[in-house]
């Protein structure tokens, strides 16, 4: 298993390299910028490339994009300070295998490497938790629902029709109907008339 | 008719010489009639008009005149002689013996008396010659009269008559311009006196001139003026003369009113009991004409027999002709045939010699008709030839008249054309002026348009400059924020990370603390600048924004974005900021259940809409408030990227629409 690491922060680079090597992997090269990283990947064809995103010249995403476009065999793991879904979403377009945050590298890097080595994808838990972390925790059941679904069931509790709900949320009636059936499914409710209203009343959502 | 007219005037004018009493005294009048009592009863008797017809009038005069001369009472002799001459002039009854008397008086006694006592001498001699139609001899006498300087009513009138008679002479000689000139001089003098009869005479004279010039309307006006003057003087005799003249005018005009006027004038004359044979004959001949015209033969016959007496007494050629023509016309009309054919024939030859074509035609006409009546065709031929000859002469005169009329018509037309031409010139001038004015206006308009265009352009460039400046300012701010965010993220975060690695292992609580600081820094940096905006793109960044709003602020925000990247990154960033601002406003104030972001790319550009179903606000009021930074932020940012923000809000929610025109 050959690995290349690229990071423009020498301490971080060093730390990463010692982590990776402590897990028993062979670091064949380290780079301080994106351009040399890409060159090295093309030259050495490592199994895995651990890339920082913010780097001079080419950034990690650019390198990942090139690797993807050049159909290189190297699997890209992004190791970054950016706890951003948008960037993660972008990286998925370039077939990035792993996305982990630097502050959790000690915890996550090992798992990530072994998953990616198996050919699986690995995404930092804290990234996925970022958006839901501020959510108020109400009834346990409600946690299963998305924000939109919870909004809809609140409105259902106010005895609003699908049409009214659609108007209030700037959505189409069809979308609301779709959400309704999703909610019923998620909550494991029987398919009967006004089941959502009854459930909402029972759970005191009004 | 013209000759007949002239003749009549010869009778009419001397009448005018009479001085009459008057009642009215208009303001302009300078000289007033002074009625001097005649000291002498014989002199007074001689002045009485009716006494002139007395059989002993002349013997009374002669006795008186001789007696006064013998007594060397020249003044009285002169006044006696003046009374006689005035009578003769009044009745147009001029005697050779009287002329001789006047001449001898002039030679022997005139210088013994002041000039104003002997003015009658020139007046009488002049009128004597006028009566003989010898105008050249008459003129010097009248001219002499006009040299005097009047000092009272009598002298003023005398000089006025002098001018009037002079005018008549020239009129009779066909010199109309001179006639008019002297008439107006006479009128000016008479207007200084209260001598209405004199004034009327001048108007009569002027009417005649107008008539002769075929100016009928003017003639009628003058006749009417003459008549009103005679009426002012209570001079019914001269009123009748004027009426007579008016009949002639109507005959000239071929106006049917003539018959009515003849009828009324004749009867007025009969009722007035005025003894004036010449006027009687003239009016009677008209009356006979009228009666014959109306077929009243027996009445005509009676009038003719009355006429005969007066005609025989008058022994005037004009009266004779009038009578003979009237009689002959009657005899023919009555179907009797002319009795005294020789008389008429003689009369015809007499008028032929005088070149009196009017009477010649009249005589020839009756003689021809008579010849036809008596079946004397040879004579009928001769007379019809003569009639033709006369008519030819008349018609040649008529031709002249016609030519005159045509000439007048032509003159009128020419004048009209001139007027039309002038009008056209004026209207052309007006058109030119109008054109010039409209040109000027056009020029002004162009200048105004150009100026306003320039101003507009200036404002536009100014606006563009301001817009550019705003944009640069905004870009600079963004750049600054991005740099700070990136510094925070890259340097500070990494330093903290390193710190955590070195410290955190020994003290986990410190590690946790460092983690939370990193999180805070991340949050600050994210707020300063959307992370990797260029990489992530506008729609993903917006969706990230919405997700965060949804999870942090419990606001249901959905998006409907169709955007392919037509804007520059810096413009995209402004769009992002606008949406961020709008969302922040909604979260802060709107109390909305949900919001929606719509971005549409169309042909003309980009359309961004941010809707919410909150409580809304008063747009203009809020915009005028000082603290409406958020809304102004949206508006100014929109302007900076070349767009326009429109904000609509009511109780059902708010819609912010930004239209971005596509730039090439």
Segment of A50-64, B8-22, B374-388 carrying the highest mean pLDDT: A50-64
Span B247-262, average pLDDT: 83
Please report the pLDDT score of residue B17 as a whole number.
Answer: 43
Span B492-507, average pLDDT: 84
B569 or B110, higher pLDDT:
B569
Interchain pair A102, B497: CB under 8 A: yes
Please report the pLDDT score of residue B34 as a whole number.
Answer: 67
- 3-state SS, residue A74: coil
Stated pTM of the model? 0.50
Please report the pLDDT score of residue B27 as a whole number.
Answer: 44
- Residue at which a domain ends, from B423, B440, B472: B472
Please report the pLDDT score of residue B280 as a whole number.
Answer: 82
B164 or A131, higher pLDDT:
B164
B541 CB neighbours in chain A (<8 A) are: 86
Interchain pair B551, A135: CB under 8 A: yes
Interface of B with A in 515-534 (CB under 8 A): 515, 518-519, 522, 526, 531-532
Interchain pair B550, A132: CB under 8 A: no
Minimal CA separation from B613 to chain A, in Å: 7
CB neighbour list of residue B1: distance below 8 Å, 6 or more residues apart: B248, B251, B252, B358
Nearest to B498 among A11, A147, A169 (CB): A11
Binned at pLDDT 50, 70 and 90, residue B262 comes out as confident
- Residue at which a domain ends, from B433, B451, B472: B472
What is the C-alpha separation between B413 and B419, in angstroms, rounded? 10
Query: Are residue B560 and residue B645 in the same domain, yes or no?
Result: yes
Please report the pLDDT score of residue A26 as a whole number.
Answer: 92
- B261 pLDDT above the threshold of 50: yes
Query: Are residue B648 and residue B551 in the same domain, yes or no?
Result: yes
Phi first, then psi: give them for residue B358, nearest 5 degrees. Answer: -60, -55
Mean pLDDT of chain B: 83
Least confident of A108-112, B171-175, B475-479: B171-175
Q: CA nearest B554 in A: which residue?
A: A147
- A101 pLDDT above the threshold of 50: yes
B134 or A117, higher pLDDT:
A117
A12 CB neighbours in chain B (<8 A) are: 494, 497-498
Q: What are residue B166's DSSP bridge partners?
A: none
Query: Are residue B657 and residue B543 in the same domain, yes or no?
Result: yes
Please report the pLDDT score of residue B351 as a whole number.
Answer: 67
Q: Domain for residue B417, yes or no?
A: yes
Domain containing residue B624: 536-661
Q: Domain for residue B494, yes or no?
A: no
Please report the pLDDT score of residue B395 as a whole number.
Answer: 60
Contacts 24+ apart (CB under 8 A), A22-31: A23/A109, A23/A110, A23/A113, A25/A1, A25/A113, A26/A1, A26/A2, A27/A3, A28/A2, A28/A3, A28/A4, A29/A4, A29/A5, A30/A4, A30/A5, A30/A6, A31/A4, A31/A5, A31/A6
Q: What is the ipTM of this complex?
A: 0.85
- B1 pLDDT above the threshold of 50: no
Span B368-393, average pLDDT: 77
A82 CB neighbours in chain B (<8 A) are: 489, 531-532
The single residue listed with the structure tokens 């002004």 is B444
Kind of pairing between the strands at B556-561 and B594-601: parallel
**How large a percentage of chain B has pLDDT more than 70?**
90
Q: Domain for residue B448, yes or no?
A: yes
Interchain pair A171, B558: CB under 8 A: yes
How many CB pairs below 8 A link A and B? 87
Q: Domain for residue B635, yes or no?
A: yes
Query: Are residue B634 and residue B551 in the same domain, yes or no?
Result: yes
Binned at pLDDT 50, 70 and 90, residue B37 comes out as low
Q: Domain for residue B320, yes or no?
A: no
- B559 pLDDT above the threshold of 50: yes
**How large a percentage of chain A has pLDDT more than 90?**
47
- B597 pLDDT above the threshold of 90: yes
For chain A, list residues whose CB is within 8 angstroms of any CB belonging to chain B.
9, 11-12, 15, 53-54, 59, 61, 81-87, 89-90, 102-103, 131-132, 134-135, 147-148, 151, 155, 168-171
Whether the CB of B499 is below 8 Å from some CB of chain A: the reply is no
- B15 pLDDT above the threshold of 50: no
Q: CA nearest A60 in B: which residue?
A: B535
Residue-wise pLDDT for B512-538, tens only, equals 888 889 989 988 998 899 988 988 899
Binned at pLDDT 50, 70 and 90, residue A75 comes out as very high
Whether the CB of B251 is below 8 Å from some CB of chain A: the reply is no
Please report the pLDDT score of residue B24 as a whole number.
Answer: 36
Burial class of residue B542 (count of CB atoms within 10 Å of its CB; 0-12, 13-18, 19+): buried
Count of structural domains, chain B: 2
Span A161-181, average pLDDT: 89
Please report the pLDDT score of residue A120 as a whole number.
Answer: 92
The continuous run of DSSP H or E covering A4 comes out as strand A2-6
Q: Domain for residue B604, yes or no?
A: yes
B27 or A155, higher pLDDT:
A155
Span B173-178, average pLDDT: 81
Whether the CB of B595 is below 8 Å from some CB of chain A: the reply is yes
Residue-wise pLDDT for A12-43, tens only, equals 899 999 999 999 999 999 999 999 999 999 99
CATH assignment of the domain containing B614:
3.30.565.10
- Residue at which a domain ends, from B457, B472, B487: B472
A16 CB neighbours in chain B (<8 A) are: none
Minimal CA separation from B462 to chain A, in Å: 39
Q: Domain for residue B32, yes or no?
A: no
Interface of B with A in 431-490 (CB under 8 A): 486, 489-490
Tokens coding A72? 């290189």
Query: Are residue B540 and residue B655 in the same domain, yes or no?
Result: yes
Tokens coding B362? 């009249």
Q: Domain for residue B412, yes or no?
A: yes
């Amino acid at each position: 298993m050959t690995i290349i690491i690229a990071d423009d922060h020498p301490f971080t680079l060093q730390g990463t390299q010692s982590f990776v090597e402590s897990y028993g992997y062979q670091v064949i090269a380290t780079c301080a910028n994106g351009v040399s990283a890409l060159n090295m990947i093309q030259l050495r064809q490592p199994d895995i490339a651990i890339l920082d995103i913010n780097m001079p010249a080419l950034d990690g995403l650019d390198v990942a994009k090139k690797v993807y476009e050049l159909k290189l065999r190297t699997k890209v793991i992004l190791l970054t300070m950016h706890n951003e879904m948008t960037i993660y979403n972008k990286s998925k377009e370039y077939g990035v295998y792993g996305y982990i945050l630097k502050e959790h590298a000690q915890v996550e890097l090992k798992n990530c490497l072994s998953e990616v080595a198996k050919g699986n994808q690995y995404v930092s838990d804290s990234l996925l938790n970022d958006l839901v972390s501020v959510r108020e925790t109400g009834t346990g059941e409600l946690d299963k629902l998305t924000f939109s679904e919870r909004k809809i069931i609140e409105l259902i509790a106010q005895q609003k029709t699908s049409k009214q709900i659609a108007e209030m949320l700037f959505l189409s009636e069809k979308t609301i109907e779709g959400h309704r059936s999703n909610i019923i499914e998620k909550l494991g409710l029987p398919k009967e008339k006004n089941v959502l209203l009854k459930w909402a009343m029972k759970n005191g959502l009004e | 008719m013209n000759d007949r007219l002239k003749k009549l005037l010869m009778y009419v004018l001397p009448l005018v010489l009479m001085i009459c009493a008057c009642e009215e005294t208009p303001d302009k009048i300078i000289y007033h009639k002074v009625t001097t009592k005649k000291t002498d009863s014989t002199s007074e008797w001689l002045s009485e008009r009716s006494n002139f017809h007395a059989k002993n009038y002349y013997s009374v005069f002669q006795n008186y005149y001789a007696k006064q001369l013998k007594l060397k009472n020249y003044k009285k002799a002169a006044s006696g002689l003046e009374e006689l001459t005035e009578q003769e002039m009044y009745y147009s009854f001029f005697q050779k013996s009287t002329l001789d008397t006047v001449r001898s008086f002039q030679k022997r006694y005139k210088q013994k008396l002041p000039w104003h006592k002997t003015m009658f001498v020139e007046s009488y001699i002049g009128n004597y010659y006028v009566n003989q139609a010898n105008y050249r001899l008459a003129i010097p006498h009248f001219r002499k009269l006009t040299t005097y300087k009047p000092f009272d009513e009598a002298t003023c009138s005398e000089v006025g008559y002098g001018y009037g008679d002079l005018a008549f002479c020239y009129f009779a000689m066909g010199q109309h311009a001179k006639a008019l000139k002297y008439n107006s001089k006479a009128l000016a003098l008479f207007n200084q006196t209260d001598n209405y009869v004199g004034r009327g005479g001048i108007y009569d004279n002027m009417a005649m001139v107008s008539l002769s010039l075929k100016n009928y309307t003017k003639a009628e006006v003058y006749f009417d003026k003459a008549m009103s003057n005679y009426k002012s003087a209570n001079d019914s005799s001269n009123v009748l003369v004027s009426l007579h003249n008016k009949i002639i005018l109507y005959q000239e005009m071929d106006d049917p009113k003539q018959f009515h006027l003849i009828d009324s004038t004749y009867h007025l004359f009969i009722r007035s009991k005025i003894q004036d044979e010449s006027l009687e004959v003239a009016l009677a001949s008209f009356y006979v004409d009228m009666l014959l015209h109306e077929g009243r033969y027996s009445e005509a016959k009676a009038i003719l027999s009355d006429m005969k007496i007066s005609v025989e007494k008058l022994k005037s050629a004009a009266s004779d002709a009038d009578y003979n023509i009237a009689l002959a016309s009657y005899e023919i009309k009555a179907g009797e045939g002319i009795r005294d054919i020789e008389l008429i024939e003689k009369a015809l030859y007499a008028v032929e010699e005088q070149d009196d074509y009017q009477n010649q035609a009249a005589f020839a006409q009756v003689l021809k008709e008579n010849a036809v009546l008596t079946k004397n065709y040879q004579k009928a031929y001769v007379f019809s030839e003569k009639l033709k000859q006369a008519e030819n002469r008349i018609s040649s005169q008529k031709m002249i008249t016609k030519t005159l009329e045509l000439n007048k018509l032509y003159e009128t037309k020419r004048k009209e054309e001139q007027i039309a031409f002038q009008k056209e010139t004026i209207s052309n001038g007006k058109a030119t002026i109008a054109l010039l004015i409209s040109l000027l206006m056009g020029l002004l308009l162009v200048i105004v348009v150009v100026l306003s265009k320039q101003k507009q352009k200036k404002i536009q460039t100014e606006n563009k400059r301001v817009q550019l400046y705003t944009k640069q300012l905004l870009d600079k701010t963004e750049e600054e924020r991005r740099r700070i965010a990136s510094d925070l993220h890259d340097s500070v975060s990494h330093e903290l990370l390193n710190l955590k690695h070195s410290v955190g292992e020994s003290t986990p609580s410190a590690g946790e603390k460092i983690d939370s600081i990193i999180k805070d820094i991340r949050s600050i940096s994210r707020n300063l600048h959307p992370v990797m905006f260029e990489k992530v793109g506008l729609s993903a960044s917006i969706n990230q924004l919405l997700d965060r709003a949804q999870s942090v602020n419990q606001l249901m925000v959905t998006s409907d974005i169709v955007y392919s990247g037509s804007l520059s990154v810096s413009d995209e960033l402004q769009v992002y900021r606008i949406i961020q601002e709008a969302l922040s406003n909604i979260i802060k104030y709107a109390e909305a259940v949900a919001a929606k972001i719509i971005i549409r790319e169309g042909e003309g550009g980009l359309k961004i809409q941010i809707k919410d179903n909150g409580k809304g606000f008063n747009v203009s009021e809020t915009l005028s408030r000082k603290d409406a930074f958020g809304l102004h932020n949206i508006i100014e940012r929109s302007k900076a990227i070349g767009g326009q923000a429109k904000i609509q809000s009511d109780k059902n929610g708010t819609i912010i629409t930004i239209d971005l025109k596509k730039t090439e």
